[in-house]
Amino acid sequence: MPAMQVNSKISEKVVKKKQALEFLEPISKRYLMVMNIRSTCDEKGDRYLDPMWAKDLTEHFKYLKDFTLASPGQQEKSPENQIAVNREPSFSNVEFIDLPCPNSYKDAILTLPATVAKLWSAIGSSDIVHSCVAGWPIPMGWLVTPIALIQRKFYVLVVESAPWRLEPGKTIKIKDKIIAYVSEIVNRWCVNNANLTIFTQSEYQHSLLTKRQERGHIIHASWIDEENIISEADAAQIWHRKTSPSNKKLKLLFAGRLESSKGVLVLLEAMKILDDKNIAVNLDILGDGSLLNQCKTLSKNLQKSVNIQFLGTLPYGKEFFRLLQEYHAVVVPNLSDEQPRIVYDAYSQAVPVLASNTDGLRDCILNHTTGVIANSNDPVALADLIEWSAQNLPRLESMGKASLQEAHSMTHQQMHRSRWELLLKMLQSSKV
């Protein structure tokens, strides 16, 4: 069969699958989302949001037809790298409620009465309330949960991360311990009082939901779209190129914030071990953060077999996905228990993941099938894994192709379809 005809059939299949995912029975209930993520209004009245948040909201709009967003609103000049959502057709029917925008714990306390007053009114005008337990200075879920309970509203809580928890290997202050302890108790109370809680990993469910287990569900968070996922034919061609004699040197990508919780310093220690052993590795680092200068300094000490390049930052989109295709594996040495979305980004391009053994990563990596897991916060274990990878490129290829199959069930649209199904089911069994 001609290649053009094959590609046509693949494109037709993708379009049909996309159309099926996009058709979701509308939910007409008044839906209020309360988040800590800020929006910005400029002097012209244009409202700006982070592009990725706007993308996620747009998926909500496909099945929620009466949508209100309450979040901190700030007045500033037009921000860079954000989009004016009031110009987007998908946002035409969305109502915005601007909450106070505190920049410190003190500000949060001073503006608390105004915040609570706005939330009380907004929740009173809604049928379904949606919030979260992560956010700064005060998680919105802490304020929303008691109000939703008093007003007897159907309450949806989403737990995507647990930033209040203490990071392994980090110097811990007494203040941090107190915040972590209080946050764990309050967040567990919020979770146990929600009608529906969606967790992005099983550990969050096990540790936070201690009552009414039937109200908790796990849906992994993913941002990939079906059209971002390469075909099996493309994957085979790309891997043929990556495993050719001219590309035998292992090529890895680290993509994330250059912060201690991301394990980037552990990765650089592992690179030093490999350099001392004369193991050939190319590592590209994509991202920015407080440890950038320290990372650059450490990388200069590697002068034998390891080569490290800093790529800066790159917007999430087609160019980013094309970049992923160049690597034999993506390395994710996280120390925290969050579940990085880069895992599914890599899967969409048939790239396996070399990761640390954390709760979040164990939940989304099939060990030795879509990637390999090594001990967390252990430079020696990570170096051993990378050395093994350099000697086993065919295994990386097979894991990459297996991860591609996993990607089709983990798209952004499929994530929202799963949320929509849960919401419909819970609404049908309640009195909302």
* pLDDT single digits (tens) 348-372: 999 999 999 999 999 999 999 999 9
d(CA 263, CA 356): 9
SS3 category, 281: strand
Say if pTM beats, i.e. exceeds, 0.85.
yes
Q: What is the pLDDT along the chain (432 residues), one digit of tens a residue?
A: 444 444 444 455 555 555 555 678 899 999 999 999 999 999 888 999 999 999 999 999 999 999 999 999 998 888 888 999 999 999 999 999 999 999 999 999 999 999 999 999 999 999 999 999 999 999 999 999 999 999 999 999 999 999 999 887 678 899 999 999 999 999 999 999 999 999 999 999 999 999 989 899 999 999 999 999 999 999 999 999 999 888 789 999 999 999 999 999 999 999 999 999 999 999 999 999 999 999 999 888 887 899 999 999 999 999 999 999 999 999 999 998 888 899 999 999 999 999 999 999 999 999 999 999 999 999 999 999 999 999 999 999 999 999 999 999 899 999 999 999 999 998 888 766
Instruction: In the chain, count H helices and then E strands.
Output: 16, 16
Task: Please give the CATH number for the structural domain made up of 226-407.
Answer: 3.40.50.2000
d(CA 133, CA 141): 5
**Angle at the Cα of 236 from the Cα atoms of 12 and 348, rounded to 5 degrees:** 60
DSSP assigned state of 88: S
Phi, psi of 315, rounded to the nearest 5 degrees: -60, 150
Look at the block and give the residue holding tokens 């919401």: 423
* pLDDT single digits (tens) 201-253: 999 999 999 998 989 999 999 999 999 999 999 999 999 999 988 878 999 99
Q: Where are the beta strands (DSSP E) in 357-399?
A: 371-374
Phi, psi of 347, rounded to the nearest 5 degrees: -55, -40
According to DSSP, the residues that pair with 420 across neighbouring strands are none
According to DSSP, the residues that pair with 156 across neighbouring strands are 130, 196
Neighbouring residues of 169: CB distance < 8 A, sequence distance ≥ 6: 260, 335, 377
Q: Where are the beta strands (DSSP E) in 133-189?
A: 154-159
SS3 category, 416: helix
Q: Does an H or E element contain 113, and which?
A: helix 112-124
Q: What share of the chain is helix, strand, coil (3-state, %, to 5)?
A: 45, 20, 35
Q: What are the Cα distances from residue 366, in Å, to 110, 159, 351, 377, 400?
A: 47, 22, 13, 20, 11
Give the residue extent of every domain in the chain.
17-222+412-428, 226-407
**Prior bond to 137 cis, omega within 30?**
yes
Q: Structurally, what CATH architecture does the domain formed by 17-222+412-428 represent? A: 3-Layer(aba) Sandwich (3.40)
> What one-character-per-residue DSSP string does 288-317 give?
--TTHHHHHHHHTT--SSEEEEEEE---SS
**Angle at the Cα of 59 from the Cα atoms of 54 and 65, rounded to 5 degrees:** 105
